[in-house]
Amino acid sequence: MKTVDGGCFSWVRRASFEGGFFGPIVSGVRGKMLPYQWLALNDQVPDGEKSSCIRNFRIAAGLEKGEHGGFVFQDSDLAKWLEAVAYQLCLSPDKELETLADGAIDLIEKAQMPDGYVNTYYQLTDISRRWTNLRDDHELYTAGHMMEAAVAYWQATGKDRLLKVMRRMADHIMGVIGPEEGKLHGYPGHEEIELALCKLYDVTGETKYLHLAEYFISERGREPNFFVQEQKRLGRDYQNAGAFGFAYGQHHLPLKDQETLEGHAVRALYLLCSAADVALRTGDETLKEACRRLYRNVTGRRMYITGGVGSSHIGEAFTFDYDLPGDTAYAETCASIALVFFCRRMLEIELLGDYADTMERALYNTCLAGMSLDMQRFFYVNPLSADPEASRRDDRKKHVLPVRPKWFGCACCPPNLARLLSSLALYAFSVRDRAVCLHLYVQGNFTLDTQNGPAALKVRTEYPRNGLVNLTLGMGDYDLLLHLPGWCKEYHLSRDGKKTHPPAENGYLKIEGPFMETEIILDMRLEPCRVYANERVREEIGKTALQRGPVVFCLEEKDNGPCLHQLSLSRNEPLIDDADPSLPGGMAIRAGGLRQKPASDELYTQTPGQKERATLTFIPYYAWANRGENEMAVWIREE
């Protein structure tokens, strides 16, 4: 079964994950996460926040009576769940899961109105108000997620019921919004539908969908400002536009004129995803350059070491360059997922290792931190330090939760994570003409279609637990491009037992084919190191963080005692690798350090406190908060 994340992505004919780091995670999505999320969507998780998602569709379909529950975008949770199911069905058949999905699609089809419209919020509140508030009510965002699910489900199963439903919805939208006279000259408040329209274009060949995506991007930020006019029609003054102004929704300037990425982090990165998608399909070089420029701004000045983005809980937004406070960080899980999506698209624009490095950073840290190790609890916010007492008693930090909840009323992140992890093969690999590109080192068996025919790869690796990657390449006339991560300073490469030294170009090692059941071994030296923030990041000056390969580590109170801010690490202290299966994540870094002890109980004193030796234990950041409520810190003072 062929699958593709948008037509710009390389075709993956077959993928199976076996063992390694990600094997249990990908299979856990199917066996644990998706069944759990189905219960949540049906309001069957004890003590979990109510979703009302499936119930809304049942009411809209006329199967029961009631009022709409949840947010205006509640339908999108089901859409992302369906997309994740589709990717899982691409990996291997599952009759029970497919039957659940077919039942959900049946509900969506029954809920659709004769004119093609489907959105349970407006259908169950006041249908006369549809398309009157594009800024706030997320009709286009919700439709976009359902379109993505429709494309993925058709590719996975060959069943086109949902695809037909969403083509009717897309055609309905085109009758309401667009550049033509008499239509709304608008765009989404929350970007997403643009990249979904590109996928619809890919599978249908209908250029009208690509043109609408292009229109949404080009119209955004133009004068007269659509949202100002729209809100005026609703009797609202929108000139001040809140704390971030028009930049909150990325309509302060046309995208091609923006120098910094602003506003709500998820919206901004979905806009960049769709800009990259449109640029790839149209060849728009100015749009490509805007993507490059804004990528450099985000990753060079506005990204946490964990790959988290969006530093303010007010507006879930970017603020300004080098403003990266750890204890009030927002760093929404969805924002890092969107960063992964964007980096993967940028790898299609140009094969640069830096995009793969950022993709790794976000994936192995903030994305994985968004779920518990048992895949039954989830984080929306991903801070770089946490104090349970502050979360309870300080309003500025109430968004920083010390434990993962079972579910959220606003549950965009859990199903988003499920669809990312289920489609991991599409991020690990791509094809450029005759070359297979390996961006992420994941264990499994994969077959990809190249310009010269299929290429079969068997990958065996425990990465990132160690840096050894063993590849068996099936017979074929293709080349192999291996990502050499930016953190890697020393490596060895062999081909059929003989050392080889291909030059690294733009972060990739090129091994030329053809291949005849060839064995490639890449051995990257992977050891703990200290990382320092730019001195303009005021909260982290004088501090260091520990990283091993792509994985960032943190301190937890469970291992190091309370008051983590009293701890420090000597610059000369050796960092010891420890594969400790008793710790969350099964990896640890240990080092000797110091604990500052107060001289007295007085609030202020002229006598400095004393320092005593302490043994410090760091665990992977993605594994924190799996042992109950306790303090956490990524950055530590350095002596």
Task: Show which residues are catalytic.
Answer: 316, 412
Name residue 10's amino acid: S
DSSP state of 367: I
- Structural tokens at position 418: 């499920």
Residue 234 is inside which H or E element, if any? none
Cα distance between residue 130 and residue 636, in whole Å = 51
Using CA atoms, how far residue 283 sits from 8, 275, 430, in Å, is 12, 11, 19
The answer to whether 55 touches 63, Cβ cutoff 8 Å, is no
Task: Kindly give the pairing relationship between strand 435-438 and strand 479-483.
Answer: parallel
Half-sphere exposure of 357 (CA within 13 A, CB side): 17
| Dihedral of the alpha carbons of 102, 103, 104, 106, in degrees to the nearest 10 | 90
Query: What span, in angstroms and rounded, lies between the C-alpha atoms of 572 and 587?
Result: 22
Contacts of 176 (CB under 8 A, 6+ apart): 131, 183, 184
For residue 215, give the nearest of 231, 193, 232, 241 by alpha carbon.
193
* Contact present, 308 and 366 (Cβ < 8 Å): yes
Q: How many CB atoms lie within 10 A of CB 16?
A: 15
Rounded to whole angstroms, the Cα distance separating 441 from 462 reads 9
Number of helical H runs and strand E runs in the chain: 20, 22
